[in-house]
Every structure is written in C-alpha cells, then in structure tokens.
Structure 1
Amino acid sequence: MTYAVTPDGTRIAYQIQGRGTPLVLLAGQANDHHWWDAVRADFHPARSTVTLDYRGTGDSDKPDALYSTELFAQDVIAVLDELGIDRADVYGTSMGGRVAQHIAARHPRRVGALVLGCTSPGGTHSVERGNDVRRALAQPQPEAARQALLELMYTPRWIASHPGPHHTLGDPRMPAHARRRHLVASNQHDAWDLLPGISAPTLVVHGSDDLLNPAANAPLIADRIPDARLHLIPNGRHAYFEEFRAHASPLVLDFLTTAHKP
C-alpha cells in the first residue's frame, strides 16, 4: 500500500494505474477508490489515472475530527505532491465534484482541465434533493435504504442485468464516525463564490434523471464557471458514469483532449 502524508499527519492511501497525462478521479461521499473500478480502464488508452481513499475510507487513516471538502482537496494535493505531479486533469463526481471545485479554485496551477460530474455548488444556491428522496434514504431498515440508494444510482433495467457487487453504495469498512464526518463535509460544502474564479477548461456532466443530486444543479455550475461546457446524459441517474459509460467515458476523454489543444 502506498500513502501520502498530509500536513496534519493523516495517511492517505492512493493508487495509480496506466500511463500518460495524469487524470485524478474523485469518488462520491463515503466511498473509496473502488467507486471507479467499473470504468477506470476506459481512460487508460490516453491517460494514467490517480485515485485515493478519502480520509475515513478504504486504507486511509480515519481520524474522528472535522472533515470538509476543502480538507479533502488538500489531501488530493498531498497525493499529487507525493507523486511529483505538478499538474493533472481532475474528474470529480458527486462529492468528488465538490472536492474538485476547491482544487481548481484554490490550486489553479495544479489543474489542467476539470470535469464536474453529478455534483452541485452547495450552499443556499444549490437545488436540494426532494423530501421523498430523503425519506427513502432514511428508512430504518438498512436493506430498504440500500435498495433506495441503488435505485437512485441506476435505472431499473440496468439493475436487473447487473446484480452487483455495486461499488458506488458506500465503503462498507467505514466506521460510523467517519460516515457522519463525510455527511457533514458534503452538506456544508459551499463553493458558489469560488466558481467564477476557476480558470481551467471545465465540462459539467450530469444524468438527466438524477434525483439524488438533482440535475438542475448542472446548469447552475456551468453558468457560474467561465466558459464551462454542459452536457446532460439522457436517462442517466446518479451513477451515469458507470451505467452509461459508453457515452460518458468517450465524452470526457474527448473533452480532455480538446482542452489541451493549443
């Protein structure tokens, strides 16, 4: 196992695969690097991929202390420093997109191109999920809540033909305190005032049928970041990048290639 050590002494486990221009892949809330298992190889013909286990997940340390999306962004920078990577493309989905907003806004020289998937700006300007979604996820029976999350991630047709395991439903090894810390970090995210300062070429991607993080957030972000492009994946839910990988992965690769052309 390979680790980067952050300024506060936390060990962050990271993984690197492939060759070429580095692409950092950032997972959703309470998930580790396995979030990307199904699609990671899609990027390897043109990119190396860098993933990490957020603090609180996977093989990283799990301190019971304040977490934030800005702190997660600092952890990503620590990984890039450990690898000697001065500049990388960044693709963040869900909470990973929130972390990516901080990286691009606060460390502009480290980001070549930016992809923000199924995410939101946070704060009072974001479009929150409906109360029916909240109730479904808060069911007292764990299996019922898990099934509700699965149906928010994928369409019924895809679920019927893909029995799992599903690596987007949370890291099963997380201790309870880390899950709570991740939830607070994601809920307290607010990058609205930072978005206009993002200078990296940016693509905003979202599933058109995403109810977990409503698709209405996508145009909010795209309108806020200078010259950002917006693309909605028809029929996509929250895990559009996996279910609709034949659409999403080439879209992202094409954008990254175009973004680096003079």
Structure 2
Amino acid sequence: MSYFFSNNLKLSYQTAGSGEPLVLIAGITCDNQHWSLIKEQLSKYFWLIMPDNRGVGKSETPNVDYEISDMAQDIITLLEHLNISKTHILGHSLGGAVAQYLAAFHPEKVNKLIISHSFVKFRPSSIMFCEHDYLLQESRAAPMARATGILPFIYSDEFINDSGNVESFIQNISASKNQQSLHSYKQQIKVISKFDSTDYLHNVSAETLVVSGKSDKLAPPQDSIQIIQKISHAQHQEIKGAHVPMWEIPETYIDIIKKFLTTM
C-alpha cells in the first residue's frame, strides 16, 4: 500500500501492472479490494491505479463534510503525485459520479472514460437503501441481517439463488478488515445524495462507454440512458447481472473494459 496527501488528508492507493494508466474509482463503502477479482487480468494490459476514497480502507476520514468535487480533486492530486498527465478512468457507482465530474471539469486529464452502473442523480429508493444499511451497521446487526438487506439490491436473483454465493458474501462481511466507520459512511451517503451532474455532464468530451446492469436496482439501466442523453457521443452497453459486475461476472466485465480501452 502506498500513500499521498490531498488537502492534508493521508490517502492510500495501490498499483498493479504496466502499460497505459487506468484509474479505478470504487463505489460507496468500497476500498481498493473492490477490484480484487479483476485486478490480475486487467493488470496484464494496463497500469492500474486503485485509490481508497477518502474515509474508506486505509485512507483518512476528513473531520468535515465534503463534495464530489473534493473526491475528484483527490484523484487529480494522485495523478500529479504519480506524474501522470492523462489517464483512462473507470468509475463505478459513486466512483462513476466522481468520474463524471473529473471528465467534465478536467478534460485534459482524461483519455477514455468508463462510467459503470452510475447515474446523473442517485434515485431516492437507492438513498433509502444506503440509509437502511447504515442503520443496520449502527445497530451492530448480525452479518446475516446485513446480507438480507444488501444482497437483493446489488446482486441478481440468479446469483443469489446459489447458496454458496450467499455464504461467501456473509463470510466476507464478517472477515472484512477495513470496516468503514459510521461517520465516514454517513459522509458518503450525504455526498451521493447531493450529487447531480445534470448541468455539466454535457461538457464531457472524452470517448465514453456507459455500462449498466440489466438487473441493477441501485442504478437501473434507465439511469445510464439519462447519462448518454447528456453525453451525446457516448456508447451504452447493458450487460447481465446487477450492480457489481466485478464480483458477479468478472470475466465479462474484464472483456468489456479491455475491448473499449484498447480499440482505436
């Protein structure tokens, strides 16, 4: 694990592979282990830069609330730290919101852009999901209780119907060593609730792929359609599965990323 400072916050990141740089920006509550099932294969083709967003993983949590713009500035500062002038960006969910802001306001830093399972504005039902999960954590609910609340929202029925997948998910919740603090989780919920790229998304000029999951309940395909209505030149690819393709269908996800980023 490596570290850099952004606005006096000590933030962590991990790198892997070589080649053209690709920054992977994870979603709400997720640290750089979010990419663990796709990291090895993607690192054969790209230099992966995987930050822990502020307040997640081994990154410090700010004392005050912050905005998407602050998270985007963290990425800009990381690029400067690594002497990267321009990079591919893949943002997933909340990370996709950060990626939108980056591409709209710092176009000179973005080569190709992938906005995955994200949104122009986070829908109220999805905010309620996050708040419900927060309350479960606050009450120290058992891993099974959290799994019951989380699984139907982020995985497809096909995935959940395999009892082995459910057992593995519960074990991962129980064994996680990088539990996010409740304070940090609440901060992220505020950030994602306030996010709205309606007024600036049309400024994105990078070649863009928007990816959605057919069974995604947190950011349904309609949310991706709203994005491509704002980015007129963007491509849209709907894939099977729900909200977390890097966990549910990693091989398919790898192929989509690799094809888009390596095609001239």
Provide the rounded CA distance (Å) in 1 between the counterparts of 2:195 and 2:85. 26
Q: Which amino acid in structure 1 is aligned with residue 100 of structure 2?
A: Q
SS at match of 1:100: helix
Matched, 1:161 2:164: yes
Query: In 2, are the aligned partners of 1:55 and 1:62 still within 8 Å (CA)?
Result: yes
1:166 CA drift (Å): 4.3
CA 1:134 to 1:94, structure 2 compared with 1: closer, same or farther past 3 Å?
closer
CA RMSD of aligned residues (A): 2.4
Matched, 1:240 2:245: yes
SS at match of 2:18: coil
Q: 1:252 corresponds to which residue?
A: 257
1:178 CA drift (Å): 0.8
Q: 1:88 corresponds to which residue?
A: 87
Q: Which amino acid in structure 2 is aligned with residue 66 of structure 1?
A: D
Q: 5 Å matches for 1:46-65?
A: 46-65=45-64
Provide the rounded CA distance (Å) in 1 between the counterparts of 2:131 and 2:49. 35
Matched, 1:5 2:1: no
SS at match of 2:77: helix
Q: Which amino acid in structure 2 is aligned with residue 18 of structure 1?
A: G
SS at match of 1:65: coil
CA 1:218 to 1:78, structure 2 compared with 1: closer, same or farther past 3 Å?
same
Provide the rounded CA distance (Å) in 1 between the counterparts of 2:83 and 2:227. 30
TM-score by length of 1: 0.88
Q: 5 Å matches for 1:30-49?
A: 30-49=29-48
Provide the rounded CA distance (Å) in 1 between the counterparts of 2:109 and 2:130. 36
Higher share in helix: 2
Matched, 1:113 2:144: no
SS at match of 2:125: coil
Provide the rounded CA distance (Å) in 2 between the counterparts of 1:173 and 1:92. 21
1:42 CA drift (Å): 2.5
Q: 5 Å matches for 1:121-200?
A: 121-122=120-121, 127-129=123-125, 137=133, 141=141, 143=143, 144-159=145-160, 160-162=163-165, 163-164=168-169, 165-166=171-172, 172-200=178-206
Gaps of 5+ in 1: none
Task: Give deviations 1:55-89, integer Å, cap 9, x for gaps.
Answer: 11111111221122111110011111101111110
Query: In 2, are the aligned partners of 1:94 and 1:213 still within 8 Å (CA)?
Result: yes
More moved, 237-246 vs 44-53? 237-246
1:151 CA drift (Å): 2.6
Query: In 1, are the aligned partners of 2:96 and 2:115 still within 8 Å (CA)?
Result: yes
CA 1:89 to 1:155, structure 2 compared with 1: closer, same or farther past 3 Å?
same
Task: Give deviations 1:92-137, integer Å, cap 9, x for gaps.
Answer: 0010000100111111011000000110011xxx644379957974
Task: Report the number of matched residues.
Answer: 253
TM-score by length of 2: 0.87
Provide the rounded CA distance (Å) in 1 between the counterparts of 2:87 and 2:147. 34
Q: Which amino acid in structure 2 is aligned with residue 253 of structure 1?
A: K
Provide the rounded CA distance (Å) in 2 between the counterparts of 1:202 and 1:176. 34
